[in-house]
């Protein structure tokens, strides 16, 4: 066992003395030691129930003959961090989580790990750590929030974001806004739509690193506790059989994840996280694959924010196994791959039929014949940018309009709220990329302001930052190269015509190469916004959004 280095022989006597200091008995020391990586905290609604998940995992580990030992991982709530300096610290925590977990699991050599994440960055951060450490590991998330109910309609966090703009333009009263904010997020759990956290928890299941149900069983269901106990028991089988993350997260597993990503209409942030996780597996995941896969994969789900369905309904309709089983009818999945169940994907999804064909459409009757995400390229984004195609109004799939240029989120938001953005405009928000932000902030407030102001069917937003999974509309992010390194987005001027053609995967500023070269010759780098601390170090090491914003 891996833990033998701190348990066996005369030289391990000092380590054994410290294990005794923990209260462990000799009998426990002689068993496999299982690290439980808990992201529990009291500030993130998606994590406030994880203490109970941890206890259930510990029971499962003990039932199966292991010794559970808990250590922490941090997590930022993107919703609480949104719209202020705190959002600069969201994406960057992914690397902190991976690095700190690597440090803890190497300094204290566990025989296996159970990862318990739930929100936007600690799911991919812990997947990155699992790949890097490559010791037997399994994931069980805290689970999704139930949707709220307002006026007989299901609502979520994104409803409140858009309600702010509706309030500002006089569509909602004080009382209506207060009622909305009080009812939109009724329980603990990751926000109730197919936002980033739930996207990544579902894709963890697709990758084979979480048991069936990991992505969809609601946080408040007792079924989630039973799932956690089974995860605790299953890690002991993975340790016994020496099944490791890189045995599971193969190139074909990532192709499966991209395929189901398209079928579900996941958050565009998955286009940052999947390449970063693959990078830790020493696999290059070229985002050009996204379009070729999307061309073949129908969109089977229309989950919030793109539609009016929520994760709890996806769970009742059959969950991820039903989606995978349906997509597999087209022969688009690699089903012979090993998973954390100890069985293949084919075995895991066999017999899982759709229980509600409105929540999960059949391949014969999809919401769209193509997938939910598209990667666009052109002179505005030579290395690519990303849009959640399934959340774009049909009339905005092709759009041409004048650029309205802003060098930070706050200036753009002020213009939208001030009535300075008009139908047909293309809002450009730059210097918000991984280096330029630094930290690649999410632009949920500007996109919600556009939608809430009634401009969602006539205004596009383009940024080298990124978007919350709660964003909908013609929101195009991850523009690469970013403005901070003199990507062409830095050279766009007020009034330049911008042409977007999502079906053709093209995005261009209608300016000649000669003019762009002349502007580039005059361009001057911006002084760093942050000059010390973690963000300054991050800005020096982070790579492009097109490669997953990993650290060099």
Catalytic residue annotation: 468
472 within 8 A of 376, measured Cβ to Cβ: no
Helices and strands in the chain: count of H runs, count of E runs: 21, 14
51-77 per-residue burial string, b: 16 or more CB within 10 A, e: under 16: bbbbbbbbbbbbebebbbbbeebebbb
Three-class HEC string of 163-187:
HHHHHHCCCCCHHHHHHHHHHCCCC
End-to-end CA distance of the chain: 33
- What DSSP element (H or E) covers 224? helix 222-241
Distance (Å, rounded) from C-alpha 78 to C-alpha 441? 10
Alpha helices in 367-506 (DSSP H): 409-417, 444-452
216 within 8 A of 314, measured Cβ to Cβ: yes
Six-digit token pair at 517? 């070269």
7 within 8 A of 16, measured Cβ to Cβ: yes
188-216 per-residue burial string, b: 16 or more CB within 10 A, e: under 16: bbbbbbbbbbbbbbbbbbbbbbbbbbbbb
Distance (Å, rounded) from C-alpha 510 to C-alpha 498? 6
Six-digit token pair at 512? 């000649």
Distance (Å, rounded) from C-alpha 78 to C-alpha 118? 12
Distance (Å, rounded) from C-alpha 314 to C-alpha 326? 14
């Amino acid at each position: 066992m891996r833990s033998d280095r701190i348990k066996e022989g005369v030289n391990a006597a000092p380590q054994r003395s410290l294990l005794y200091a923990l209260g462990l008995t000799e009998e426990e020391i002689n068993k496999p030691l299982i690290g439980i990586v808990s992201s529990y905290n009291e500030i993130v609604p998606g994590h406030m129930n994880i203490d109970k998940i941890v206890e259930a995992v510990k029971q499962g580990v003990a039932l199966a003959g292991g010794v559970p030992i808990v250590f922490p991982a941090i997590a930022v709530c993107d919703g609480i961090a949104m719209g202020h300096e705190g959002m600069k610290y969201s994406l960057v925590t992914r690397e902190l989580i991976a690095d700190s977990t690597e440090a803890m699991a190497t300094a204290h050599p566990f025989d296996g790990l159970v990862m318990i994440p739930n929100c936007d960055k600690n799911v991919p951060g812990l997947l990155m750590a699992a790949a890097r450490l490559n010791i037997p590991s399994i994931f069980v998330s805290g689970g999704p929030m139930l949707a709220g109910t307002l006026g007989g309609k299901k609502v979520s966090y994104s409803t409140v974001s858009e309600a702010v703009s509706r309030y500002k333009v006089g569509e909602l009263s004080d009382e209506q806004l207060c009622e909305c904010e009080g009812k939109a997020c009724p329980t603990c759990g990751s926000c109730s739509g197919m936002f980033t956290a739930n996207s990544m928890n579902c894709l963890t299941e697709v990758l084979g690193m979480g048991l069936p149900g990991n992505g969809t069983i609601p946080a408040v269901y007792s079924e989630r506790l039973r799932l956690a106990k089974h995860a605790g028991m299953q890690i002991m089988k993975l340790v016994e059989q020496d099944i490791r993350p890189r045995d599971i997260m193969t190139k074909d597993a990532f192709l499966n994840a991209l395929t189901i990503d398209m079928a579900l209409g996941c958050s565009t942030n998955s286009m940052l996280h999947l390449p970063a996780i693959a990078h830790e597996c020493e696999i290059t995941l070229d985002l050009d694959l996204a379009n070729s896969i999307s061309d073949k994969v129908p969109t089977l789900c229309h989950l919030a924010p793109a539609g009016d369905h929520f994760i709890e309904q996806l769970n009742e309709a059959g969950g991820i196994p039903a989606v995978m089983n349906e997509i597999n009818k087209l022969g688009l999945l690699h089903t012979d791959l090993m998973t954390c169940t100890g069985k293949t994907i084919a075995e895991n999804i066999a017999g899982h039929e759709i229980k509600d064909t409105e929540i999960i459409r059949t391949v014969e009757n999809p919401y769209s014949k193509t997938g939910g995400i598209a990667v666009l390229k052109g002179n505005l984004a030579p290395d690519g940018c990303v849009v959640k195609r399934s959340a774009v109004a049909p009339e905005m799939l092709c759009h041409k309009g004048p650029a309205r240029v802003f060098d930070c989120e706050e200036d753009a938001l002020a213009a939208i709220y001030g009535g300075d953005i008009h139908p047909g405009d293309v809002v450009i928000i730059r210097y918000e990329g991984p280096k330029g932000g630094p930290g690649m902030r999410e632009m949920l407030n500007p996109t919600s302001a556009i939608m809430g102001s009634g401009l969602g069917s006539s205004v596009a937003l383009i940024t080298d930052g990124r978007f919350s999974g709660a964003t909908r509309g013609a929101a195009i992010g991850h523009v690469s190269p970013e403005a901070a390194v003199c990507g062409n987005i830095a050279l766009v001027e007020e009034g330049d015509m911008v042409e977007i053609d999502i079906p053709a995967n093209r995005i261009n500023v209608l300016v000649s190469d000669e003019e762009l070269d002349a502007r580039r010759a005059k361009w001057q780098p911006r002084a760093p916004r942050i000059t010390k601390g973690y963000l300054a170090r991050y800005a020096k090491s982070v790579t492009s959004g097109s490669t997953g914003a990993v650290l060099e």
